[in-house]
Amino acid sequence: MMKSNRTAPLPLDACIGLTGRTLNGQYRIRSLLAQGGMGAIYEAEHVATGQRYALKALHAEAARRDEIARRFEREAIAMQRLAHPNIVAVLDVGAVEDGSLFLVMELVRGPTVRALIEAGPVRPRRALVIARQVLEALAHAHAHEMVHRDLKPENAMLATVGAPGHAYEQAKLLDFGLVKLLGDAAAELGGDKITRTGIASGTPAYMAPEQALGRKVDGRVDLYSLGITVFEMLTGVVPFRHADPLTLMRMQCAAPIPSLAKVAPGRPFLTPALEHLIARALAKQADERWDSAAHMIDALDEAFRSLDHLPPEP
């Protein structure tokens, strides 16, 4: 049976805020940026330098749940090993008085890809530029034997970087809370002893079939999730939709892959190269997908070039 191992969210009265406190004598918590069932992200200021950071901490009750605490610790260790312009950098790790960890990360100001999609279908060239940057981030993570496993529009932010007049949009991959460690990384950092075989981890609307079935995974599950994200950026909807998570995971495993042209008929940007990019990313069998982020980048570049022969975008 396909199951999801997501822990039930905590009641709001279990969320103990940190605003106004100073952690480890270094980080003054200025404001709450975002909050979920398991934890919160704050804007923090270094008391000595005045530098602003994003600080991610578990709620006190969540920190007492062993599985959640171990996942958070593994995320901290994993992200400290990654250094890439398209991955949110973890700069420090500390502990709150109750013993739970917090992460100090670069502060990224900008919308998520989710907010971009909610504003309407994304122009194809912009969608492909964002996707290419995320692929660069995935290539870096995969080279360090880490599989993200929860790539979705909420977990990619869009920062504006560069000097005025020369600024550009930079995608930033975040939230490695479900990271899967492989090979030497698993041996060095203790591997993935939290997720049990036969239990699915991730977000059903973006899960690869083998992930939904709780089977062994590798970096190709991230390429599948990115394929769905690009599909959603271009059309405004994900390819598979259902209110029931288990039914949705079964659709990932067995439902035919809809083409972009079927979901968004009459759109001039639906070139064969773009259809091929998405169709292969969403292949049901991992062996039929792009075998690496680098090869998917090559196909994405070809799809981008195929847009040059189309009329200018409105």
Locate the domains of the chain by residue range: 12-106, 113-309
d(CA 233, CA 127): 6
pLDDT at 12 over 70: no
Structure letter (DSSP) for residue 81:
T
pLDDT at 53 over 70: yes
148's tokens: 């993200």
**What fold characterizes domain 113-309?**
Transferase(Phosphotransferase); domain 1 (1.10.510)
Q: What is the pLDDT of residue 314?
A: 56
Q: What is the pLDDT of residue 64?
A: 72
**For residues 296 and 225, is the Cβ–Cβ distance under 8 A?**
no
User: Which runs of E-coded beta strand occur in 9-108?
Assistant: 22-23, 27-35, 39-46, 52-58, 90-95, 101-106
pLDDT at 68 over 50: yes
Neighbouring-strand partners of residue 101: 95
177 vs 211, more confident: 211
Residues of the chain with pLDDT > 90, as a percent, come to: 61
pLDDT at 167 over 90: no
pLDDT at 92 over 80: yes
**For residues 15 and 22, is the Cβ–Cβ distance under 8 A?**
no
d(CA 83, CA 67): 26
Structure letter (DSSP) for residue 21:
-
3-state class (DSSP) for residue 87? strand
pLDDT at 191 over 70: no
| 163 Ramachandran zone, left/alpha/beta (phi>0; psi -120 to 50) | beta
Length of the chain: 314
Mean pLDDT computed over 274-303: 97
Mean pLDDT computed over 159-173: 89
**For residues 236 and 267, is the Cβ–Cβ distance under 8 A?**
no
User: To 10 degrees, the CA torsion angle through 156, 181, 70, 12?
Assistant: 20
d(CA 178, CA 217): 12
pLDDT at 308 over 80: yes
Q: What is the pLDDT of residue 72?
A: 84
Does 298 qualify as catalytic in the annotation?
A: no
Which distant-in-sequence residues (6+ apart) come within 8 Å of 134 by Cβ?
A: 86, 151, 156, 171, 173, 226, 229
For the domain bounded by 12-106, which CATH number is listed? 3.30.200.20
- Given the residues 98, 150, 218, 287, select the one marked as catalytic: 150
3-state class (DSSP) for residue 210? helix
**Mean pLDDT score across all residues of the chain:** 86
Residues of the chain with pLDDT > 70, as a percent, come to: 88
